[in-house]
Structure formats: C-alpha cells, structure tokens
Amino acid sequence: MNWNNKKILVTGADGFIGSHLVERLVKQGARVRAFVYYNAFNSWGWLDTLDDSLLTQIDIVSSDIRDPHGVLAASEGMEMIFHLAALIGIPFSYHSPDSYVDTNMKGTLNVLQAAKKLKIKKILHTSTSEIYGTAQYAPIDERHPINPQSPYAASKSAADSLAVSFYRSFGTPVVIVRPFNTFGPRQSARAVIPTILSQIYNGRKNIKLGNTQVTRDFNYVTNTVDAFIRLAEMKGGLGEVFNVGSGQETSISQLIHLIQRITRKNFRVVVDRQRVRPRESEVERLICDASKIKLACGWTPRVSLEEGLGFMFRWVKDHGHCYKAGIYNV
C-alpha cells in the first residue's frame, strides 16, 4: 500500500502509542490529522516532543473524543481512522468508572457514527488484552472468553462490541487491533516498566511495586505500530479481532532481574500495598497467541523484550525529568 498523501485521522495522537503511530505515518508520506485532547495548557502531549520537521506536517486538532460534533468535524475528508483515544489507567478506573464509560464507550460510538456517516474506508479500533482477564488457557487466542476484571477492561470490551456491531449492522469497515502489553519510550509511569526505570533514574535503591508474581506479554512499541500498519494495509479482516503480542510470557520478577542486568543497577523491590490491585481484579496471567495476524498479513515482532528494554532505558536516562517518580502514578 502506498501511504503517500493518504488522509489519515489518528485519535489519541497525543498519547504513547498514538504519537509513535503518527510519527510512522508521516514518515511514510501520509497526510495525518492528529486528534488530541483539548486542554488549557495547549499541550499536544507527546507530539510536542517530535522534531519540527515532522510536527509542521501534521494537522493537529484539539478536541474531545466525548464530543460527537468534534469527532465528526475531525473525520471530514479522511480516508481512514486509527482510533486510539482512551482512558487506560486501571487503578484510576476504580476511582472514576463514569469517565471510562464516557471516554472509551461513548468516544468509540462517536468515531463509529462519524465513520458510518462519512463512509470512511477503514477504521482500526484499538482494544486491549485486559478484556480477556486471567488466562483460562495459554497462549490466549482471539477465541478466548472475554472476562473483564476492571472497569477499564469492561469499558474497552463494550467498545469492542460496539465496533463489531457496527460492522454487522451497517457494514462499517472496522478492524479490531488487540495489543498485549506494549512498552517503550513515551509510556506513562502507570505501566510497570517505566515505573521501575524512572525510579532507577531518580537514584532510588528501594523500588516500589505491586504484585511481582503476575505474568505479562511485553511487546515493544514499534512492533505494535508495525501491526497497525500491516492491518491497515491488509485486504479483508473486517469485523475481526487480531491479537498483537510477542508470545513470550514474563513474570514481573523475571522482568526485574532482566532490568537489573541491562541497567547494571542494584536495587531491591519493596511491595507498596496501594499498588496491589483488588484480588478479584488482578489479571494473573497474560500471554499472546498472535498466529492469526501472522497468517493474515505476515506480521511478526522485530524487536525483542531485551532489546526494547535497552532502548527504553536509554530513553529514560534522557527524559527521566518527565516522570514524577516519587509518587504512585494511577
């Protein structure tokens, strides 16, 4: 697929994965409209850190995914939508579940309604592995039962169902991208890897964490962006779900030892009770079966966990000031 001059809307463009996706699309020649969250500081999130040579090529729209009129206006003239805008913090979803319904469910509905009305050619809707809950069998494929264990996961599961329903009811050309635990530069300290690395950067010898026995499937951000691009280019797959993960299961304890080896830093882990999720809400095990996407479009992860951690550590050393390492980031 030739991306040159393709008119693309990316919602959540100011966020972690969204900013990397925007950067890739611009470099591939697409005409990108970046939908960012309006705020009084006129911040464009991580897009503010891009080189001016890239930033000047992006049409930035400050709006709110919860506003159907703003979403419709931003979608005008677009050929394709990558929908990544969402509230993602699991602990914050315990505190403010209403905002997750408004943002993740209603926001997705606004995108789908706009796409339907404007006859957008393709929508890539972003899901999450959290909707599977603790693995009932491993690795987890797309047929695994849906079992949300947090308000965040429930809101994303509902958004996924809306996306599928629009395909089945109206033929809206939606593909659901379901990433497992993406990590990399620009990731919030709500996630475990930047939580550890930012505390190391700040010279802490006691690293505060929650449950270290759970397992996750960590996948470097450029791998995830590759998957979005491949699925966007692929013919077919409409109305379907595609898991995106490394297929490697890593416990937080194993991750800690790997980070100690890569960074050559000695530290001890202290369990911080406020970081431990309610027992029935904790997802104990996640590991991805990405066979479907590999068969459909040839996607495979190119950056390993160890290589990605090295990239991430070097990035945190240069950007550690972006993190508030002394607090629990919810």
pLDDT by residue (tens digit) across 112-146?
Answer: 999 999 999 999 999 999 999 999 999 999 999 99
- Check whether 166 has a pLDDT greater than 80: yes
Instruction: Answer whether 263's CB lies under 8 Å from 306's CB.
Output: no
198 in a structural domain: no
232 in a structural domain: yes
CA angle, residues 278, 280, 285, in degrees to nearest 5: 100
127 in a structural domain: yes
C-alpha distance from residue 149 to each of 17, 19, 71, 280, 285 (Å): 23, 28, 29, 7, 12
User: Position of tokens 């050559």?
Assistant: 264
pLDDT by residue (tens digit) across 261-314?
Answer: 999 998 999 988 888 999 999 999 999 999 999 999 999 999 999 999 999 999
Which domain does 146 fall in, by range?
Answer: 7-184+220-247+287-303
Instruction: Answer whether 47's CB lies under 8 Å from 13's CB.
Output: yes
234 in a structural domain: yes
22 in a structural domain: yes
C-alpha distance from residue 139 to each of 156, 220, 299 (Å): 21, 19, 17
Give the closest residue to 127 by CA, choosing from 95, 90, 83: 83
- Check whether 325 has a pLDDT greater than 80: no
Output the 3-class SS for 107-156: HHHHHHHHHHHHCCCEEEEECCHHHHCCCCCCCECCCCCCCCCCHHHHHH
103 in a structural domain: yes
pLDDT given for residue 240 in this prediction: 98
69 in a structural domain: yes
> How many independent structural domains does the chain possess?
1
47 in a structural domain: yes
Token pair belonging to 178: 């379901």
Model pTM score: 0.97
For residue 40, the domain's CATH number is 3.40.50.720
